[in-house]
Structure formats: C-alpha cells, structure tokens
Amino acid sequence: MTCFLVPPDAAYVGYFDFKTLSCLFLTLAVVCALRNIKFFTILARKLVCLSGNLRSLFVVLIVITFIGSMIIANDMALITFLPLGYFALSVTKREEYMAYLFVLQNISANLGGMLTPFGNPQNLYLYSHFNIPTDEFCRIMLPAFLLAVALLILACVPIKPITFKLQGELPEKLNVKKTVLYCALFLLSILIVFRVVHFLVGLIVIPIILFFVDRDSLKMVDYPLLGTFFFFFIFAGNLARIDVVHSLISSLLQKDTLIVSVLSCQVISNVPSAILLSRFTTDYPALLLGVNIGGTGTLIASLASLITFSEFKLLHPEQTKKYILIFTVANAAFLVILTAATKLFWL
C-alpha cells in the first residue's frame, strides 16, 4: 500500500540493511545445523535431569531458555526448549503447571536475548543500523537484563519444591566432529555480527560448508522472518518519505521514545517496531530498551509469543483460556515493572 504512495524508485535500494539480513541468515543457518544434531537438547536435558525438585526444575528450564535466547535468538530457544519443559512435567506427572511454565519460558526467551546484539532480531538490526559500540550496547541493556533475571527467579518462588527423579540416560549421542565444526561456524557468525569479519566472507564460507555437510539446515532457516525484515524495510522507508507521517511519528518519539516504542510493540510486534521507529529517531538507547521490554505484553508483541501459544494450544487445547489468562497477567506485570524501572532509573 505504501508503494502506491511512494512509487518504487532508485531510493528503494537505500532502504535495506543488507548486513543485518546477512547476519540474521548466517546465524539462523548455523543454529539450525546445531539443532539438527540435537546439540542444545542433549545439553539442556542433562541439566534438567540434575534438578531434584519442581521449583529447581522451573528455574533450570527458565535459565536454559533465557541463556539460549542470548545465543540462538528467542524463537529458536522456544522451539528447542519448550518440548523439554513438556517432557519434564509429563514425566513427573505435574502437567497442571504446564501453562505457567510455558508462559515463564516465553517471557525468558523474549527478555533473555536483550543483552546481546544477536540475541533478538531487533537487536541485530538496531546494533547495525545505529552502529552502536558493543560495550555501549551492553551498558544500555544490562540494568534491565538483571532486573528481568531477578523477576523470573522470583516468579518461580510460588512453585512448591516437590521432589522427583528424572533419568539421566539419553538415547541420543552428541556428534563431536559436527559439534566442533558448527561451533566454529557459529563463532564466525558472531565475529561477523561484532564487525570483526566482513559479512561477505560469511556469506561465502558458511553456506558452502553447510551445503556439503548439512544442507537441510539451509532449508530450515526462518525465511518468513527474513521476509518480514525485507518488507518492513520497504514499509518503513516509504513512511519516512511521507511528510505528514514523518512529522507525526517524529513528534511522538520526541515526547517519549521509550513509551512509544513499548506501545508500538503491542500492536505491530517488536521487530517491525524497531525497523519502523528507527527511521524517525536517533535516541537509540530508549528505542533499544523499548522494543526489548515491549516484547512482553500482548500475544502479538513478539512473534516468539505466538510460537509458545501455538505449541501450548496443540498440546492442551482444553486449557487455552487458562493459558491466555496466565499469559496476560504475567506479561502485564513484567511490562509495567520493567518499563517503570527503566523510565525512573535508567533513562
């Protein structure tokens, strides 16, 4: 629709952040390869087997998801670790806690990735778009990150420490050779994100190696996510060239970038909000915090939340209303506390 208002021309080429698209593609491809050899599942399941009671199990699963989102992005962390939560509660016959666990895992995935540039797709884009120094990026996100950790641990306190025992033996064995290779490729993708290696090097090396070793990983990349970036680059670029829209959004962001970005996420999700609003403000600390905190809230505030909801509805369709209620209350609490703390103490 915006293309009718701003017909395609040579300026369209300037809309796209090709480095962000490349980094996202490379990271997702390597993560898919690691998932194919069950690298994350094997390590996480061994940790889960060490938990001795239900409360510890919640903490372990939430921490695993939290850390996982920092390394492999929030949606991949959920796809990998939600089944682990289902497995653990099913084996221990505590399925009544399933909705609460899934909600906490969802929140931990959305907030865990905020500390690293590659943890969330919107971080990767803003880190590249504003050319934010890595140490400054971490300083901006660290206070909210630590508060999120504290809130998630606090949310596990109501769970009773009911003891149980899980078997530690796994049918799967880790493929050491492929693990070493894929970890090396993942390190290369991180060096590209941190601007140590040029992204064109990665576009040549990583896809060629994966094509010969595990071409399925290239097919499993989340291309719809890349498509979302691609089309929102066009959408945001066109809106920035419409004077009335440019003036309106710019004036709103000048009043309060944090609040506007948080509210925008509730309507159009955090990744599109980051791409859209970055065209109208230079206040990247507030925008960065806003689109990360804004991932909590409504079901559409983060596409990762829809993944969790779909997974739960598939497993327990009869508890959909219960899940939505718990999701709404928990996410509203996290959203309000994190936004208020950020507004009062860090911005």
- pLDDT at res. 208: 97
For residues 105 and 307, give the distance between their C-alpha atoms in angstroms, rounded to a whole number. 11
Give dist(CA 156, CA 44) in Å, integer. 19
Q: Is residue 190 part of a domain?
A: no
pLDDT score recorded for residue 52: 77
Element (H, E) at 108: helix 98-112
pLDDT tens-digit readout, 179-215: 999 999 999 998 998 889 999 999 999 999 999 999 9
- Note whether residue 185 is domain-resident: no
* Count of domains forming the chain: 1
CB 191 within 8 A of CB 23: no
Query: Is the whole model's pTM more than 0.75, yes or no?
Result: yes
For residues 120 and 128, what is the distance between their CA atoms, to the nearest angstrom? 13
Tell whether 20 is covered by a domain.
no
Show the tokens assigned to 263.
């509210």
Q: Residue 120: what pLDDT?
A: 86
Would you say residue 206 lies in a domain?
A: no
Q: Is 188 part of any domain?
A: no
Helix, strand, coil in percent for the chain, rounding step 5: 80, 0, 20
Range of the domain at 237: 38-174+222-346
For residue 262, is it within any domain?
yes
The verdict on residue 247 lying in a domain is yes
Examine residue 17 and state whether it is found in any structural domain, yes or no: no
